[in-house]
Amino acid sequence: MPDLLGRHCWRAPDALSAGACGRNALVRALHDQFAAQLRERGEDMEDQTTARGGLQAAPALGDPQSRMIRLPAFAYTCVRPWVALLLVQLSVVVPLVVTVFVAATGYAATYLTNLRLARRKDHLDRVNRQLSELYGPLYAQSEAVDRAWRKFFVAGGGNVWTALAPVTTEQAATWRLWMSTVFMPLNRRMVETVVSHADLLREDTIPEPLKELCAHVACYEPIVARWQEDGFDSVQVDDHVSIAGNFPRRELDDYLRNSFESLKLEQARLLAQIQRLR
């Protein structure tokens, strides 16, 4: 019994020691394996850091950078392919965007140029119509009336109805002849031009010289009609002069000349602009 107990007492510690030693060996083996893995990871990180330019000093505790979250090295390895893919996509997208922008800019510039050109052409068309249909004919007819009046003033003695001396039958007949065959036909043509092309006037309303022209001609029509009566030989002023007064020769001539010259300048300016835009 003592031997048995002695044997058990001697072997029990050995068994316990063997179990404890096995556990300790397992723990040490796991510890060594984990330490080896940490060393390998640390060496990999050092190699990657050295490849990027060497180790950098760790920031001080008070440095704001010390509070920043630092990504591990393997995170950069994962991000690098995405950055490369993004750069490839940008190399395709950026030229495409630039091409579209250049094309859109060229189209917009062409559109604006064509728009300005069309507007100037429309303006030029109106100016051409004003010159050819209204102010050009009016100015020519007014000059014809003015020159004819000057010739009559020299040949027939001028406006005999404003003279103090009585008017003779011959003077009255000469007046009626010139008024019926020279002045009234030109005056009627001027009034017809104004009425037919009043939409081409430069002003928003009919100018006073044109109003006076129309009134003078309208008031002269009854007088001219009376001259056609058989046996008419009156030498009275009322039978030969319009109740609207004298013909507005000076005012009409100044207005038409200024308008005609201004439109010619405008026409030349528009033509030059259109040539530049082309």
What pLDDT, in 10s, does the model give residues 197-252? Answer: 999 999 999 999 999 999 999 999 999 999 998 888 888 888 888 888 888 989 99
Please report the DSSP string for 91-107 in residue order: HHHHHHHHHHHHHHHHH
Contact 156, 178 (CB under 8 A): yes
Give per-residue pLDDT as tens, 166-185: 888 888 888 899 999 999 99
Residue 77 resides in a domain: no
Q: How far is the CA of 203 from the CAs of 78, 130, 140, 255, in angstroms? A: 78, 12, 20, 12
- Residue 89: what pLDDT? 72
Percent of the chain with pLDDT over 90: 35
Percent of the chain with pLDDT over 70: 67
At CB < 8 A and 24+ separation, what contacts does 203-208 make? 207/255, 208/251
Q: How far is the CA of 253 from the CAs of 138, 204, 248, in angstroms? A: 9, 20, 8
Contact 104, 225 (CB under 8 A): no
Q: Look at the block and give the residue holding tokens 């140029």.
A: 113
Residue 107 resides in a domain: no
Burial of 134 (0-12, 13-18, 19+ CB in 10 A): buried
Confidence of residue 11 (pLDDT cuts 50, 70, 90): very low
Residue 73 resides in a domain: no
User: Domain containing 146: what range?
Assistant: 129-277
For residues 5 and 44, what is the distance between their CA atoms, to the nearest angstrom? 58
The pTM of the full predicted model, rounded to 2 decimals, is 0.59
Residue 192 resides in a domain: yes
Instruction: Identify the residue with better confidence: 115 or 55.
Output: 115
Greatest pairwise CA separation for the chain in angstroms: 190
Residue 10 resides in a domain: no
Model confidence at 41: pLDDT above 60: no
Burial of 92 (0-12, 13-18, 19+ CB in 10 A): exposed
Question: What is the rounded average pLDDT of the residues 31-54?
Answer: 50
Question: What is the rounded average pLDDT of the residues 136-141?
Answer: 96
Residue 194 resides in a domain: yes
Q: Look at the block and give the residue holding tokens 């950026």.
A: 94
**What's the domain count of the chain?**
1
Residue 242 resides in a domain: yes
Residue 11 resides in a domain: no
Question: What is the rounded average pLDDT of the residues 35-61?
Answer: 49
Question: What is the rounded average pLDDT of the residues 25-36?
Answer: 50
